[in-house]
């Protein structure tokens, strides 16, 4: 059974979004911008409540065009950037003057950002006030999904939030094989837009490598030797370039990244290793576009089980597993070999923790891309971890479900501990 072709395209296009900077501070900025736009004037006070995972992923990450970090600054910028229609690209045109104004708002004590118990893991509520009036905006379920707008307590807009589950996305009803067979049955032109998305992420790589202040990508690139060939060359390039794109994004360089399943880092990990493999194989545009479609769709599929925000690093658990399977397909792998890549990844990086968004994520992206290549090459040679190994399974679908169980409920307490450590550091006790 194959998934409806139009439904597949709808899922892809709804899950892929242009993003400037990390999506967590971007989401806070967007929520405040929507509320401020509804208020109709510059707010005198800004109060933001975020879910613990939004706080974890946003507190230490660079904000584009500012050379600074902080969710308070992101919120203040939202009050000044009156372009909520730009979604997660709202931070693309931040200027020095706007940054100074936002910093002044923060230093005046007019911004308060807190985390607490929220209806779901991805949640932002911004309340702005001024001139005796108040407006509120809620983002829920997805980083740019505004579900509620209120002005002086009266609803302006209310919609159902996007929930990651079978009721919204029917992917869980299908096997991995059925997903990529549907992609193969479609005209390759359907996925050509993904080539442009890949080009944008590659542009972020170039920007990083040209920036003398950003060392990770450049130093990893220096390890690439002209004498490297085959898998070694692909692995070294994928590591360097995923690290470079991740470093550019997380340090706050003003670059556009194509995000998938709400994460720019997922987009980087799901795209760049696949493109490097395609170039190594001299694959044509059609094959590359199909491989990218499979990588993206499988990443969304896995995230249905692991959750959008959790204690496990989605780049290592879902995006890298998806990229590994897509690379096996590019190499001409069979159904069993594609499944083996996923099983291998389930026994490899499943336990990699997510300790928030920060520049160090670039190293995790490099590690994830390297593991994806390694598992793909093992799989194409019909080497797979045994179903009796740990959380591995006889089928890729069951392995994915096991990966999800490790994440939730398995690592819920781990997530709390990570957040406590980060809070202690933020308060200066470590």
User: Worst-scoring range by mean pLDDT, 40-49, 87-96, 200-209, 419-428?
Assistant: 419-428
User: Worst-scoring range by mean pLDDT, 20-24, 167-171, 237-241, 365-369?
Assistant: 167-171
Q: How far apart are CA 25 and CA 55, in angstroms?
A: 9
Could you tell me what percent of the chain has a pLDDT over 70? 97
Q: Does the pLDDT at position 255 exceed 50?
A: yes
Among 88, 38, 36, residue whose Cα is nearest residue 64: 88
Q: Does the pLDDT at position 389 exceed 80?
A: yes
Task: State mean pLDDT over 142-159.
Answer: 91
Among 51, 57, 165, residue whose Cα is nearest residue 119: 51
Q: How far apart are CA 59 and CA 69, in angstroms?
A: 7
Give pLDDT, residue 428: 62
**pLDDT band at residue 227 using 50, 70 and 90 as cut-offs:** confident
Give pLDDT, residue 338: 98
Q: How far apart are CA 53 and CA 306, in angstroms?
A: 14
Q: How far apart are CA 396 and CA 392, in angstroms?
A: 9
Count of CB atoms within 10 A of residue 158's CB?
11
Query: How many residues does the structure list for the chain?
Result: 430
Phi, psi of 157, deg, nearest 5: -155, 135
Give bridge partners of residue 137 from the DSSP assignment.
126, 149
Give pLDDT, residue 168: 46
Q: How far apart are CA 307 and CA 414, in angstroms?
A: 15
Give pLDDT, residue 309: 80
Q: Does the pLDDT at position 232 exceed 50?
A: yes
Q: What is the pTM of this model?
A: 0.90
**Tell me: the pLDDT tens digits for 31-75?**
999 999 999 999 999 999 999 989 998 988 899 889 898 899 999
**pLDDT band at residue 430 using 50, 70 and 90 as cut-offs:** very low
**Those residues with Cβ within 8 angstroms of residue 181's Cβ, 6 or more apart along the chain or in another chain:** 2
Work out the mean pLDDT of the chain and round it to a whole number.
91
Given a contact cutoff of 8 angstroms between Cβ atoms, the answer to whether 299 and 406 are in contact is: no
Give bridge partners of residue 256 from the DSSP assignment.
20
Task: State mean pLDDT over 173-200.
Answer: 94
Phi, psi of 7, deg, nearest 5: -65, -40
Task: State mean pLDDT over 320-342.
Answer: 97
Q: How far apart are CA 290 and CA 287, in angstroms?
A: 5
Q: How far apart are CA 167 and CA 162, in angstroms?
A: 10
Give pLDDT, residue 166: 41
Give pLDDT, residue 165: 46
Given a contact cutoff of 8 angstroms between Cβ atoms, the answer to whether 87 and 116 are in contact is: no
Q: Does the pLDDT at position 171 exceed 90?
A: no
Give pLDDT, residue 224: 83
Give pLDDT, residue 161: 53
Residue predicted with more confidence, 254 or 335 = 335
**pLDDT band at residue 162 using 50, 70 and 90 as cut-offs:** low
**Tell me: the pLDDT tens digits for 262-293?**
889 999 999 999 999 999 999 999 999 999 99
Q: How far apart are CA 349 and CA 336, in angstroms?
A: 20
Give bridge partners of residue 127 from the DSSP assignment.
47, 136
**pLDDT band at residue 164 using 50, 70 and 90 as cut-offs:** very low
Crossing angle for the helix pair 361-380 and 264-280, to the nearest 10 degrees: 40
Given a contact cutoff of 8 angstroms between Cβ atoms, the answer to whether 138 and 125 are in contact is: yes
Q: Does the pLDDT at position 167 exceed 70?
A: no
Q: Does the pLDDT at position 427 exceed 80?
A: no
**Tell me: the pLDDT tens digits for 14-31?**
889 888 888 899 999 999
Phi, psi of 125, deg, nearest 5: -125, 120
Tokens 């919120």 correspond to what residue?
75
């Amino acid at each position: 059974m194959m998934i409806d072709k139009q439904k597949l395209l709808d899922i892809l296009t709804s899950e892929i979004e242009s993003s400037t900077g990390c999506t967590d501070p971007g989401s806070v900025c967007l929520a405040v911008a929507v509320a401020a736009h509804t208020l109709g004037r510059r707010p005198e006070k800004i109060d933001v409540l975020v879910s613990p995972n939004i706080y974890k992923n946003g507190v230490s990450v660079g904000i584009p065009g500012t050379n600074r970090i902080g969710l308070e600054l992101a919120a203040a910028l939202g009050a000044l950037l009156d372009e909520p229609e730009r979604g997660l690209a709202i931070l693309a045109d931040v200027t020095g003057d706007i940054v100074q104004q936002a910093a002044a708002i923060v230093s005046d004590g007019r911004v308060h950002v807190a985390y607490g118990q929220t209806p779901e893991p991805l949640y932002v509520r911004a309340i702005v006030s001024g001139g005796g009036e108040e407006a509120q905006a809620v983002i829920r379920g997805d980083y740019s999904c505004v579900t509620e707008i209120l002005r002086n307590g009266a609803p302006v807009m209310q919609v159902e939030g996007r929930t990651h589950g079978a009721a919204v996305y029917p992917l869980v009803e299908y096997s991995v094989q059925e997903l990529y067979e549907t992609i193969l049955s479609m005209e390759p032109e359907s996925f050509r837009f993904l080539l442009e998305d890949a080009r944008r992420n590659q542009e972020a790589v170039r920007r990083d490598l040209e920036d003398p202040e950003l060392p990770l990508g450049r130093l990893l690139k220096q390890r690439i030797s002209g004498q490297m060939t085959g898998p070694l060359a692909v692995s070294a390039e994928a590591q360097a370039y995923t690290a470079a794109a991740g470093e550019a994004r997380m340090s706050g360089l003003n670059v556009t990244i194509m995000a998938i399943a709400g994460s720019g880092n997922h987009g980087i990990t799901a795209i760049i290793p696949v493109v490097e493999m395609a170039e190594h194989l001299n694959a044509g545009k059609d094959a590359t576009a199909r491989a990218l479609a499979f990588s993206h769709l499988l990443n969304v599929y896995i995230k249905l089980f692991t959750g959008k925000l959790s204690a496990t690093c989605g780049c290592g658990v879902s995006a890298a597993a998806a990229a590994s399977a897509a690379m096996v397909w590019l190499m001409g792998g069979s159904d069993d070999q594609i499944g083996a890549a996923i099983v291998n990844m389930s026994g490899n990086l499943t336990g990699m923790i997510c300790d928030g968004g920060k520049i160090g994520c670039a190293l995790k992206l490099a590690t994830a891309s390297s593991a994806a290549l390694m598992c793909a090459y093992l799989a194409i040679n019909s080497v797979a971890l045994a179903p009796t190994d740990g959380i591995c399974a006889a089928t890729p679908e069951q392995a994915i479900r096991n990966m999800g169980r490790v994440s939730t409920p398995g690592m819920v307490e781990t997530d709390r501990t990570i957040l406590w450590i980060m809070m202690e550091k933020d308060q200066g006790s470590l």
